Amino acid sequence: MRKLWRSSTQWGAACTLKCMPTPLSARNVSHRFGNVIALENVSVEVAAGQATALVGESGSGKTTLLRCFNRLIEPEEGDILVGDKNVRTESAVLLRRGIGYVQQLGGLLPHWRVLRNVALVPVLQERSDAEDAAREALELVGLPAAQFGPRFPHELSGGQRQRVALARSIAARPGVILLDEPFGALDAISRSELQQSFDDLRRRLSVTTLLVTHDLAEAGRLAEQVVVMRKGRIEQRGSMRDLVHAPATDYVAHLIERARAGLEALVS
């Protein structure tokens, strides 16, 4: 197995850039941790190839909802559909291999070189072109494979590590990618650069995207649909324009006001 990413197979003839985008759907989902309500009758639809952002404070249930889609959490009630399949009937392991995932602190395996990290899912799928897929994914996130592939994660900057995590999540060309505060731990410049790269990338791949963030501006920049959550319920769902012009609740209005104040503080 180790041989796989040491051998120098010819680069990428069989790779197709686009994948089949998959719609996502959560229907009347409820979940509790002990006595604490994490999700209460939540429904969200993400159209194939579109991006949706879940926005809210810590404890709003946004991460819990995200983790329902790859069965890291089994909700007590309601249905989760990935494409036309109810995730409950799927093998969790196989389901996850078909869904990209990026978490806040990358979660790269520190003892594996970058190329091997990126090749993880294709290898799990026992694809013979795993190494080529990994190289291509690295190039897609702006890291030349020849230069970065042989390095260890600790030899990269924080932004580069997040790019590698992104490459790893798309190396197997999933139809869906889930991102949990992917840029939250980065400095402002890296974050902005990475947001731009990611936006380009997901449009190019037309991959269905579900993004968790506490940053309303990031949500507006990256997603067609924004879902504001609070205490396990949905406050409002719509485009950023809808939220700004017609906030459904005081809480949404307050969030928008705060984001606007932050921006104005910058220019004044």
The residues, any chain, with a CB within 8 Å of residue 61's CB and separated by 6 or more, are 38, 39, 40, 42, 229, 231, 232, 233
The smaller minimum CB distance to other proteins, of residues 116 and 202, is found at 116
Binding piece for other proteins, criterion CB under 8 A, among 27-35, 53-61, 90-98, 235-243: 90-98
8 Å CB contact between 179 and 168: no
Helix (H) or strand (E) holding 82: strand 77-82
The smaller minimum CB distance to other proteins, of residues 38 and 240, is found at 38
Helix (H) or strand (E) holding 121: helix 120-124
Q: Each residue of 142-181: b (16+ CB within 10 Å) or e?
A: bbebeebbeeebeebebbbbbbbbbbbbbbbbbbbbbbbb
Residue 70 touching other proteins (CB under 8 A): yes
Residue 185 touching other proteins (CB under 8 A): no
Among 21, 49, 56, 106, binds other proteins (CB under 8 A): 106
The smaller minimum CB distance to other proteins, of residues 96 and 237, is found at 96
Residue 108 touching other proteins (CB under 8 A): yes
Binding piece for other proteins, criterion CB under 8 A, among 21-29, 149-157, 194-202, 214-222: 149-157
Question: Could you give the 3-state DSSP secondary structure of residue 130?
Answer: helix
The smaller minimum CB distance to other proteins, of residues 154 and 264, is found at 154
Residue 103 touching other proteins (CB under 8 A): yes
Site string for other proteins, 160-179 (x = CB under 8 A): x----x--xx----------
| Of 7, 152, 21, the residue nearest 83 (C-alpha) | 21
Footprint of other proteins on this chain (CB under 8 A)?
70, 72, 93-98, 101, 103, 105-113, 120-121, 124, 148, 151-157, 160, 165, 168-169
